[in-house]
Chains A and B, each alone.
Chain A
Amino acid sequence: MDLNYSPEETAFRDEVKSWLDQNLPADLRDKVRDYKELSKDDLERWHKILAAKGWVAPDWPVEWGGTGWNVVQRYIFEEECGYAGTPPLVAFGLRMCAPVLFRFGTDAQKQRFLPKIYSGEEFWCQGYSEPGSGSDLASLKTRAVRENGHYVVSGQKIWTTLAHYADWIFCLVRTDAKTEKRQEGISFLLIDMKTPGITVRPIYLMDGGHEVNEVFFDDVRVPVENLVHEEGKGWTVAKHLLGYERMGTGRIGVSKRELLRVKDVAAAARKDGKPLLDDPRFRDRLSRVEVELMALEITNLRFLDQLRRGGKPPGAEVSLLKIKGTEIQQALTELMMQAAGPFAQAFRPLDADPAFDRFTAALAPRYCNVRKATIYAGSNEIQRNIISKMTLGL
């Protein structure tokens, strides 16, 4: 056992770090660090910079553009991106649709979709949740009826992240309403967002931002060649994908950066003439989060090491990373707002040119926004159900 990075790993980290220094545009970095909403253009710009470097999809098979990095290298890369403040890589294409196509896609589907996911030419979103199907995904009702070489899709999806940017959506739809088990009769379809009959309507969240949408399907005609795997086997596809969905939710690099940020803000804030950072009540709360993050980093590396040696796809252990990682993210947003104190109350300027601190103004909305983390990608309660069933055998 050796928890130190080897000279090769350290050299790799230096390489990533110096490349990020030179290639992460300052305006993007500042937007991320100031918690500003990222436009489609911002996200695509960063995606294309990484694609040009060949680093946009490290975990893909090498013949499709993967880097061939081992798990430690991948971890180092993500950590450095988190530290540097890169825009996120949107997971729907790279880390969700792509693994599904590698596992279940036809050659034609791979050829058609993977290169454009890699290049960033096509932007993807995920059509899973419905108004009546949140945690209970298998109860979904969106219908797809097969006729003349097409599926005709009708129904509604909700909480569809970045659907307003997307060119394509992968959807779970019901192709057979009469099966005995609800999990049967579900199919996995790839749908062009420009198809007639699709309407995207924004949902504004409590931070004032627009990330998620409702997507309505009204007799949308989808060619049958866009079915992935067999008809009625969509649940198998969905289960395969869930592990990958949760894989990226720990966000340890980002949390490390946020932790340093909280320390900076708390060191500058004064309480009784002394830095808030030295206040034992504040400091103890912060230290416990820091320790939890140190532990999660090692836990994450341990699991990655198991994956590497066992060669298995991510299992229930990923749920632990999701639970702890999101709890830490939320705790940090709360500590940040607390560190800013009364200044975290101002949200938007009403006057033309006010003396207005845009950074502290972003803290309360961010605190509000990150409440989503314990809800999305399978709520943390669902994650506990998964661990309970899969790992503990209860």
Chain B
Amino acid sequence: MNFELSEEQTLLAETIKRFVATHYNFDARAKILASPAGHSEDVWAAIAEMGLLGLPFAEAHGGFGGTTVDVMLVMEALGEGLLVEPYLATVGLGGRFVARAGTPAQQDRILPALVQGKHTMAFAHTEPGARYDLRQVGLTARRSGAGWVLDGDKRMVLHGGSADTLVVSARTAGGDTDAAGITLFLVPRTAAGVSVKEARTIDNLRTADIHFAGVTVDADAVLGREGEGYVVIEEVVDYATALLCAEAVGAIRYANDATLDYLKTRRQFGVPIGSFQALQHRMVEMMISYEQARSMSYLACVKVDTADAAERRRVVSAAKIKIADACRHVSQEAVQLHGGMGMTEELKISHTFRRLTMLAQTFGDAEHHLERFAATS
């Protein structure tokens, strides 16, 4: 048992931190948000250049064979900088699906390009009425000749509008809420019959509702085994959830640093407002939330690769419960302690509030994970 980061890991964390500080400050970020794409190709290229896209993937595909703790450090830094680029969707979801379930041919086709920053991905899964239940899949895929035809709707596909390849979950057998009978497909976003409606989220990410109307794909579009997609989905979403916990830890760290700084500089009644005990104790509680959230993020990222699925579920859900609670607590307090300024578009703290609010819900809110945690402990 030790918490020490290796020299490479410390270096990695410092490199990203420096990049975010110099190339992703608040003004630079505002310009990116205002652009039509809503994210930056230059930043994406720089992220690829730093090797961050290849971090968890095998050397054979141009990656670095890194650990989940390595990726955790990246996610913390991206969270601190409120990056809007599709790192989680591409590396944490799409790339992970391919690495976990893809054939050698599929991996060779996608991963090297992904690592170089030339291929982005998204996971098209959530459907109307499913909430956070990963088993609910009604979009159909039926055999047609040597290939398949996909029909149905996906909602809230994170970065779905810009992804090169979509990982699509489809029902190939059983009822709409059965775990068995779900099959995963790799579908180009530009395939005939795919129509995308993009929306902006409150925290300035891009999401998409995607309609699949008679979309035909070849047999080699099937990712993993037919009808056995659910096991992979649950595993990959747990992985992405652990990474998201780390992202939240980074955003919480920023919220706390900014709020503490504000308490020390903002003066009222002739003194810094940080001299008031009513505010001091609230700041201490925010700090405690951060430390506890960080501990759970560590635990989730270290344990998410375990072969014991029950243990993985238990730890990831425990982490998401704590993270969701901490996101809500810290974001609300940060705005309150900033007073009216905390409400404004021009301060990063309001953007952090929005990001934390969304992170609390993504991949399941605290209530969803309380239910899942109770079932596994």
Contacts and interface: CB of A to CB of B under 8 A. Distances in A.
A302 B377 CA distance: 24
Interface string A298-315: 110110010001000000
Most chain B CB within a 10 A radius of its CB, from A1, A6, A294, A393:
A1
Most chain A CB within a 10 A radius of its CB, from B9, B293, B303, B370:
B370
B370 A287 contact: yes
A280 B296 CA distance: 23
B370 A384 contact: no
A71 to B, nearest CB: 10
A253 to B, nearest CB: 15
A249 to B, nearest CB: 15
A323 B288 contact: yes
Contact of B1 (A72, A323, A388): A72
Interface stretch (B16-24, B181-189, B220-228, B275-283): B275-283
B122 interface: no
B4 A309 contact: yes
Contacts of B294: 299
A296 interface: yes
Given A287-B374, A288-B321, A290-B377, A1 B69 contact: yes
Given A3-B303, A290-B377, A9 B1 contact: yes
Interface string B294-313: 11101100110000000000
B1 A3 contact: yes
A283 B374 contact: yes
A51 to B, nearest CB: 28
Given A294-B296, A323-B288, A392-B283, A6 B322 contact: no
A130 to B, nearest CB: 24
B288 A320 contact: yes
Given A1-B5, A287-B374, A392-B260, A384 B281 contact: yes
Given A1-B69, A1-B302, A295 B283 contact: no
Nearest to A317: B291
A291 B5 CA distance: 25
Given A294-B318, A392-B260, A299 B292 contact: yes
B284 A302 contact: no
Contacts of A290: 318, 373, 377
Given A5-B1, A394-B264, A288 B370 contact: yes
Given A287-B374, A291-B318, A301-B3, A391 B295 contact: no
Interface string B131-156: 00000000000000000000000000
Chain B: interface secondary structure? helix
A292 interface: yes
A63 interface: no
A41 interface: no
B3 A1 contact: yes
B371 interface: yes
Contacts of B5: 1
B263 interface: yes
Contacts of B250: none
B281 A2 contact: no
A384 B299 CA distance: 26
Nearest to A386: B284
A385 interface: yes
Nearest to A381: B281
A14 interface: no
Given A287-B370, A384-B281, A388-B281, A295 B322 contact: yes
A4 interface: yes
A387 interface: yes
Contact of A392 (B284, B296, B298, B318): B284
Given A1-B3, A392-B287, 8 more contacts: A320-B287, A323-B288, A384-B281, A384-B285, A387-B284, A388-B281, A392-B284, A394-B275
13 contacts: A1-B2, A1-B4, A3-B299, A287-B321, A288-B321, A292-B292, A294-B296, A295-B295, A301-B1, A320-B288, A384-B280, A388-B281, A393-B264
Interface of A: 1-6, 9, 72, 280, 283-284, 287-288, 290-292, 294-299, 301-302, 305, 309, 320, 323-324, 381, 384-385, 387-388, 391-394
Interface of B: 1-5, 9, 69, 260, 263-264, 274-275, 277, 280-281, 283-285, 287-288, 291-296, 298-299, 302-303, 318, 321-322, 325, 367, 370-371, 373-374, 377
The 5 closest A-B CB pairs, nearest first, are A298-B295, A388-B280, A295-B292, A394-B274, A384-B284
